[in-house]
Chains A and B, each alone.
Chain A
Amino acid sequence: MSYDTGTRQSLERDAAQVVARYPKPRSAILPLLHLVQSVDGFVSPDGIEFVADTLGMTTSEVSAVATFYTQFKRQPNGTYNLGVCTTALCAIMGGDAIYERLREYLGIEDGQTTGDGMFTLERIECNAACDYAPVMMANWEFFDNQTPESAVALVDALRAGKPVAPTRGPDKLPTFKENERVLAGFPDGKADQGASAGESSVRGAELADEKGWAAPPYPAGGAAAPKGTKGEERK
C-alpha cells in the first residue's frame, strides 16, 4: 500500500468511526468505499487493500462488493460527476437530448472523464426525482428541470470556477471527493443549507391549503382505543 503515513493515519481514524456504527464490522464496507473515494477519487487498489485490512477481508472479497455498485468507480473520477437520468420518463422528457448535448459538448462517452479531469459523464438510472424531469445529478446533488442549455451552462460555470447551486441542495456544489466523504457518513455542516423542499414536492400540500382540504382532525382527547372496527365514511 502506498499511502503516506499521514493519509494512512487519517484513514484509520475515520475508518474506526465508521466501523463503530455497526454491530458487525463488515457492514462498514460501503461507507469505507465511499471514504476511499473521498481520498482517491475512485476505488483505488490501495483503497481496496486498506478496506480489506480494516475489515479482515481479502482484496478479492472487497473488489467483489465494490464492483456490484454503480457509485464505486474503477478509474479516477472527474471533479464533477455529471449523471443524466435517461430512464424512460426522464429520457422522453428531455434526458436523451441533454445527454446527447453534453456528450458532444464534452467530447466524451458514457462513463468517460474529460482530459483535464474535470468532468465524468454518465447516463444514470432513475434518481427518485421524477416530478422534476428531466433531472441531472452533479456529484449526486439534484439539478431539477434541466434543458440542454442549462446543462451546458452548468459545465461552463464549473469550468470558469464559478459557484453553482444545486436546485435542492447546499449553497455551492461540492466536489466529487467532498461529497463522497459525506456518503461515508461524515457531515460537512451543509445540512441546513437549501430549501425544505422543491416546487413540485409541495404542490399537493399547497393545493390543499388553497382549497381548504385537510385530513380529519385527530379525535379530541387523543385516540380512542382500537376496537378493530372499520371506519364509517368509506367508498
Chain B
Amino acid sequence: MTTLTPVLTKRWGKANSWRLAEYQADGGYQAARKALTMEPQAIVDLVKAAGLRGRGGAGFPAGTKWSFLPKPDGGPRYLVVNADESEPGTCKDMPMLMADPHMLLEGMIITSWAIGCHHAFIYLRGEVVHVYRRLLRAIEEARAAGILGDHVLGTDYQLEITAHAGGGAYICGEETALLDSLEGKRGQPRLKPPFPAAEGLYARPTVINNVETISQVPPIILGGADWFGSMGTEKSHGFGIFSLSGHVQRPGQYEAPFGVTMRELIDMAGGIREGHKLKFWMPGGASTSMFTEEQLDLNLDYDNVIQAGSMLGTRALQVFDDTVCVVRVVSRWMEFYAHESCGKCTPCREGTAWLRDTLCRIEAGGGTPADMDVLGDIPASIGGCFCPLGAGAPLALNSSLKYFRDEYEEHIRLGRCPFDRAATTAFNGEVA
C-alpha cells in the first residue's frame, strides 16, 4: 500500500504558514544557505541525480533542462517560474503559493544560483488576487530580511525576484507564450528552436519551470538524491501533489510518491460520492485521454500513464460518476480550448471551433449522424501547430468515443441529452 508523503503540503495547515518567521522557525532557508556554499554545477548535478522531472505537465528532467544553458557570456540569464496554473483540474500551485510562498522563493534562490541568474520572475495567472498578495508579501519580507537583494543570505550573491500577474490567458502556461507575454506582447507561442535555454526572455538564456518543480529543490538539497529517489518509481523519482476533484467524498490535495494508484487515492479521498459508481476519470487535466475503472490499479508515474495511452500531466485527477453525461463534459472542454486557442495557428483555431460547435450541437440534441464523422475526422487534422494546445484538445474527445461512443449516438437518436443535469451537482440536484 502506498502512503502519503507530505513535503510541500506539510506546512499548509499551520497558522501563518506564509510568514517568513514561521517558515524560518520550521527550518526555512537552511537549504538555500547550504546551496550557496556549493558550486553551482554541483547543484545541477545533484538535481539531475535526484531525477527531478518537471511537475508542470511535460515531465522533462529539470537538471537536464538547466544544463542546456550555454556557457556564461557575461550577459543576463533568467529563471522564470511558471505559475500560470490553468489546465482544467489543476489546483495545486495556487494553494502552494497561498500557504507556503517562501518554499518557492527558497527554491528560486537555489536554482538561480545554480544557473547564474540575478533576476528571476514568477509569472502568476492574474485571476487569483489573494495568491498574488501572499507572493508580494513573501518577496517583501525576504528582501527586508536580506534573503533577497544585493547580499543573499549574507553572501555576495545578488538576486532580485519580480512577481508578475498576467491578464487571463490559458496559453500563457505554454513556456514560449509565457515569455512573449512577460515581454509585454500577446501571449502567443514561439517557433522552437531556438529553445528558451538558448534564447528565452529577451532572447537571453532562460530556465522555465513550474512552481512545484522549483519548490521541490530545497528538500532535494537537504535530503539528497538518494533520499528523493527512495520515493517514487524507477523512472519517476520522488513525490508529487495529486489533486482530486469531482465526485469523490473528500476532494483535495494528496501528496504521494509516484506509483500510487488511483484506487488508493480515491480510497484516501473517502471513495466515490455516496450511492454512485465511477464512470470515467482524467489522469492529468483536460488535455489527456480519459480513463475508466480499467486503469484504477495503474501505478501512476509519467511512463506508465503514457504506456496506458494517456499522460500524467499535472496530476489533475478529475473524477466523474455515473450521473455524468460524457458529451456534456467533453463539449465543455472543447469550449474551453476554442476559447483559449490563441488563434495563431489555423488548424488549432479552426479545428477547436468546429469541434466545439459540433459537440455542443450534439449535446443540445441537434446532432446528425454526419456529425459523428466530423468528430472522427477533425482531431487528426489538428497538427503542425506551434504549440501542443491544438493537439491536446481532442484527446479527451477521442478517448470518450472509444469508451462511450454509444452515448453520442444516443443523443443524436433521441434528439436530446438523456441525462439528468440536476443529478450531477454537489448540492444534490437542487437546481434553480
Contacts and interface: CB of A to CB of B under 8 A. Distances in A.
B227 A92 contact: no
Contact of A89 (B130, B134, B241, B318): B318
Given A197-B95, A223-B227, A89 B167 contact: no
B339 A130 contact: no
Interface stretch (A4-12, A156-164, A214-222): A214-222
B87 A68 contact: no
A33 B168 CA distance: 12
Contact of A131 (B136, B233, B251, B328): B251
A65 B259 CA distance: 43
A207 interface: yes
B87 to A, nearest CB: 7
A108 interface: no
Given A30-B181, A224-B224, A200 B251 contact: yes
Nearest to A102: B432
Interface in B221-268: 221-234, 237, 239, 241-246, 250-256, 259, 268
A141 B134 CA distance: 13
Contacts of A74: none
A184 B126 CA distance: 10
Contacts of A69: 126, 166-169, 187
Contacts of B85: 128
Q: What band does the interface of chain B fall in when counting residues whose beta carbon is under 8 Å from A?
A: 35 or more
B332 A65 contact: no
A131 B247 CA distance: 10
Contacts of A228: 49, 225
Contacts of B432: 97, 100-101, 104, 148
B126 A34 contact: yes
A13 interface: no
Contacts of A187: 133, 136-137, 140
Given A187-B137, A205-B255, A29 B184 contact: yes
Given A185-B163, A218-B222, A235-B259, A92 B233 contact: no
B250 A203 contact: yes
B315 to A, nearest CB: 12
B224 A219 contact: yes
A112 interface: no
A208 B166 contact: no
- If over half of B's interface residues share one DSSP class (helix, strand or loop), that class is named, otherwise mixed; here it is mixed
B86 A235 contact: no
A166 interface: yes
Contacts of B13: 196-197, 202, 205-206
A223 B252 CA distance: 31
A183 to B, nearest CB: 5
Interface stretch (B104-112, B373-381, B401-409, B423-431): B423-431
Contacts of A93: 246, 424-426
B190 to A, nearest CB: 15
A188 interface: yes
B268 A204 contact: yes
A76 interface: no
B16 interface: yes
Interface of B: 3-7, 9-19, 34, 45-46, 48-50, 76, 85-91, 93-95, 98-99, 119, 125-130, 132-134, 136-137, 140, 162-170, 181-187, 202, 219, 221-234, 237, 239, 241-246, 250-256, 259, 268-269, 286, 299, 316, 318, 320, 324, 328-330, 332-333, 336, 339-340, 342, 421-422, 424-427, 430-432
Which 6 A/B pairs are nearest by Cβ-Cβ distance? A223-B224, A69-B167, A203-B252, A226-B49, A26-B184, A231-B229
